[in-house]
A and B are shown apart, each in its own frame.
Chain A
Amino acid sequence: MDFIKGIFNAVADPRVYFLLMVLALVGLVWKRESIASNAFGYGALGVFTLFFALGGLDPNFRLIITKPDNVPIVGLIFLLVFFVWYSMKQAVVNDRRIAKGEGPEEAAESDRVWVWPDLVYTELISLIVCSIVLIVWSIVLKAPLEQPANRAVTPNPSKAPWYFLGLQEMLVYFDPWLAGVVLPGLIIVGLIAIPYIDTNKKGNGYYTFNERKVEITLFLFGFVVLWCSLIVLGTFLRGPNWNFFGPFEYWDLHKLEALTNVNLSEYFWVRALGQPLPTNYFLRELPGIVLVLLYVGALPVLLSKKLFKTYVDKLGAPRYYVTVFLFLMMMALPIKMLLRWIFNLKYIVGIPEIFFNI
């Protein structure tokens, strides 16, 4: 048993965990034909239930998943896995029908029905079921109340509410001005922009994957892998000092993690050129600044010439540049993660003098 727990603890390491999430997405998209069966759905449900049931025998695991405010996230995991699978399944079913020339299932159901009684009763039943669930949940689980607020005693870890823990996890890789302000702002802007930059006319009003491969893959990456899975990571696997703890690991306040992160300027001036760091901070950070400018400024142009040429033709220049900018901003997080994990890179541009660290 300890051996198995050890495996889970190791797998939950942020690096492995993130890699597995990406692989899961790749698998989902690639093997969607075989995943879209009820057998797979029930199987996955069984495995997850088994994991939480058996895991619940472990005191450390139980402690973290039964913390009242964490219970919704256990629910979120199940609901998310279910609905990702379910929407994918419907997409595959429709894609098969479309391939046969039958049109999506929704088209076969496009005749109109009376709202009363068909819809009104469905709504009523959902409402009753939802109320019952909520009431039972409220009776079974007490809302948490800790000690009265005390500014002199900082709990360790101090966590934001759970829906912001993905952002808090980003703080490991970015400074607050990016992780807490600019990137969340771009998430909102990017979401609003989706309908205006997606010019694909197909796939409007029915489940499909084949007609919208890129859009759906990107959205799943952003929503499931970056947003939701980092929330799960931040909630269950981050303990005191925001150190990583496996799901079956005791939250030891004194766990030490070696921090040997190095700035790009150090790599460039000291290690590559063998010089001391320049005293002028602009000069010191010039390599990083150039890199960042290349990433935001030159890369979109370069990509438009080759790799993304079809998109420029399809979207037109303005839409293309907005899309690529948003895409690169989204990819900034996984890129920074990789740089941190592989090179121990702390900042690409590090000017703490004016709080400008990237």
Chain B
Amino acid sequence: MATETKTIRPQESPATRFWNWLTETQVWKSVFRHERPNTDRNRVLVMLSNIFLHLHPVRIRKSGVKLRYTWCMGGLSFFLFLSLTFTGLLLMFYYRPTLEYAYNDIVGLREHVPLGIMREMHRWGAHAMVITVWLHMFRVFMTGSYKPPREFNWSVGVIMLVLTLLLSFTGYLLPWDQLAIWAITVGSNMARATPFLGHEGPGAALLALGDVKLIHAADDARFALLGGTFVGEGALLRFYVLHCVGLPLGIAVLMAVHFWRVRKDGGISGPM
């Protein structure tokens, strides 16, 4: 019997045989509800029955899969976002957002965690994501993909671009070193000059009840951002919460909308 099987499929390696056996087991079949994707029918099923893959269509315009066309920049932005979520989560195990601990926790990360490159992966990943998002926007512009029916998805993209920058900006403060607080000081000082809402902004003086100024250093736009009149404890906590919870949630929701709309607007753009 054994020799007979061998003569029927002599080219199969042990790995293939193992793979064939594995994909026939009850456990495997309970997870993946379709056969191996080597027939057209199963290629449809694999896309439709898997929640992660079903973001994709089943079939797609040939130019849409070409690196030449999309540069894969949207996909890389998404991948970098996922990897930032993961490394960020690991960093949160070590990091406490208080004046007492923040800096020392970062020092600890660098000195006591063996083979620790999580902080590096997180920081360089964040820089890279800013760049990939810009290049993605640039490609979408150069292919005219924002034109109808994709106007709205472009707008969603712009908001995500802003959120990406804000995520990066809020994260920049967390190491609580000189680089961090002064970069955030320079950046947040701008809010002081917000027209009407910043205490050094044009028009702020108009917002007054008689002699009482409504807008001053301790209640203006910068105060709202920093939770104080300078980059201190309040700012650290606010930035931490925004960085780890608020902004990621916001951008994740928008990404869901973005991907949904890529499909609903007719898939990756192409000539009509």
Q: Which residue of A lies closest to B146 (CB)?
A: A195
Task: Return the 4 tightest CB-CB contacts between A and B, nearest first.
Answer: A180-B190, A138-B120, A195-B151, A176-B193
Q: Are B71 and A204 in contact (CB under 8 A)?
A: no
Q: CB-CB contacts of A340-358 with B at 8 A, as 1s and 0s?
A: 0000000000000011100
Q: Is the CB of A116 within 8 A of B46?
A: yes
- Contact with A135, one of B79, B121, B135, B169 (Cβ below 8 angstroms): B121
In the assembled complex, A331 has its CB within 8 A of some CB on chain B: no
Nearest-neighbour CB distance to chain A for B107, whole angstroms, equals 7
Which residues of A, 266-289, contact B by the 8 Å Cβ criterion? none
A135-B178 in contact given A72-B131, A110-B270, A118-B65 (Cβ < 8 Å):
no
Which chain B residues (149-163) contact chain A, with CB distance < 8 Å? 150-151, 154-155, 158-159, 161-162
- The CA-CA distance from A126 to B66 in the complex, in Å, is 12
Residues of chain A lying within 8 A (CB to CB) of residue B159: 192
Query: For window 124-144 of chain B, which residues contact chain A by CB distance below 8 Å?
Result: 124-125, 127-128, 130-131, 134-135, 137-139, 141-144
CA distance A116 to B60 in the complex (A): 10
A148 contacts the other chain (CB 8 A): yes
- Per-residue CB contact flags for chain B residues 40-56 toward chain A (1 = under 8 Å, else 0) read 10010011000001001
- Within the complex, which residue of A141, A161, A176 is in contact with B169, where a contact is CB–CB below 8 Å? A161
For A109-146 the 0/1 string (1 means CB < 8 A from B) is: 11111111111101100110011001101110111111
Assess whether B60 is in contact with A195, with CB atoms less than 8 Å apart.
no
CB distance from A230 to the nearest CB of B (A): 14
A76 at the A/B interface (Cβ < 8 Å)? Answer: yes
B117–A138 CB distance below 8 A: yes
A87 within 8 A of B: yes
Are B271 and A110 in contact (CB-based, < 8 A)? yes
Q: Which residues of A contact B119 (CB under 8 A)?
A: 143
Question: Can you show 15 pairs from A to B with CB atoms below 8 A apart?
Answer: A69-B179, A80-B135, A110-B63, A114-B40, A115-B60, A116-B37, A134-B83, A160-B183, A176-B190, A177-B202, A181-B190, A181-B195, A192-B154, A203-B144, A354-B205
A293, chain B: closest CB distance, angstroms? 15
What is the predominant secondary structure among interface residues of chain B facing chain A? helix
The answer to whether the Cβ of A322 comes within 8 Å of any Cβ in the partner chain is: no
Given A149-B178, A206-B271, A207-B143, check contact A177 B120 (CB 8 Å).
no
Q: Please indicate the chain B residues that have their CB under 8 angstroms from the CB of A76 in the complex.
A: 131
- Contact of B151 with A196 in the complex, beta carbons under 8 Å: yes
Residues on A facing B (Cβ under 8 Å): 69, 72, 75-76, 79-80, 83-84, 87, 90-91, 103-107, 109-120, 122-123, 126-127, 130-131, 134-135, 137-139, 141-151, 153-155, 158-164, 167-168, 175-177, 179-182, 188, 191-192, 194-196, 198, 200-208, 212, 216, 219, 223, 228, 354-356
- B148 CB within 8 Å of chain A: yes
Please, which residues of chain B bring their CB within 8 A of the CB of A146? 177-179
User: Which of A106, A114, A155, A354 lies in contact with B63, CB distance below 8 A?
Assistant: A106
Q: Which residues of B contact A80 (CB under 8 A)?
A: 135
**Known contacts A112-B62, A205-B269; 17 further A-B pairs (Cβ under 8 A):** A76-B131, A84-B138, A90-B68, A111-B61, A114-B43, A115-B53, A115-B57, A116-B46, A126-B76, A134-B83, A138-B120, A145-B106, A151-B232, A161-B172, A181-B193, A206-B271, A216-B141
Residues of the B chain whose Cβ atoms lie less than 8 Å from the Cβ of A112: 59-62
B127 pairs with A72, CB closer than 8 A: yes
Q: Is the Cβ of B200 less than 8 Å from the Cβ of A355? A: yes
Instruction: A143 to B56: give the CA distance in the assembly, Å.
Output: 36
Known: A119-B56, A159-B183, A355-B204. Is A180-B193 also a contact (CB below 8 A)? yes
Asked whether A106 and B69 contact (CB < 8 A) given A112-B62, A194-B146, the answer is yes
Q: Is the CB of B176 within 8 A of A119?
A: no
Interface of A, helix, strand, loop or mixed by DSSP: helix
Is A175 touching B187 in the complex (CB atoms < 8 A)?
A: no
Q: How many residues of B contact A (CB 8 A)?
A: 100
Rounded to whole angstroms, the CA-CA distance of A141 and B120 in the bound complex is 8
Q: Is B203 part of the contact surface with A, judged by Cβ < 8 Å?
A: yes
Residue of B nearest to A198 (CB): B147
Q: Are A177 and B195 within 8 A (Cβ)?
A: yes
Question: CA–CA, A167 to B191, complex, Å?
Answer: 13
B53 touches A120 (CB 8 A): yes
CB interface residues, B 105-125, toward A, < 8 Å: 106-107, 110, 117, 119-121, 123-125
A72 nearest in chain B by CB position: B127
Given A126-B79, A130-B80, A181-B193: A206 and B144 interface contact (C-beta under 8 Å): yes
How many whole Å from A317's CB to the nearest CB in chain B? 20
**Residues on the B chain within 8 Å of A216, using CB:** 141-142
Pick the contact of B177 from A119, A148, A355 — CB < 8 Å? Answer: A148
Closest residue of A by beta carbon distance from B271: A107
Name A180's closest neighbour in chain B (CB-CB).
Answer: B190
List residues of chain A with CB within 8 A of the CB of B80. Answer: 130, 134
B189 at interface by CB-CB < 8 Å:
yes
Distance, CA A115 to CA B164, complexed state (A): 28
Say how far B131's CB is from chain A's closest CB, in angstroms.
Answer: 5
When distances are taken between beta carbons in the complex, the residues of chain B under 8 Å from A138 are 117, 120-121, 124
Bound complex: CA A168 to CA B182 (Å): 13
Q: From A114, A150, A162, A219, give the contact of B58 (CB < 8 A).
A: A114
Q: Does B246 contact A (CB under 8 A)?
A: no
How far apart are B84's CB and chain A's nearest CB, in angstroms? 10
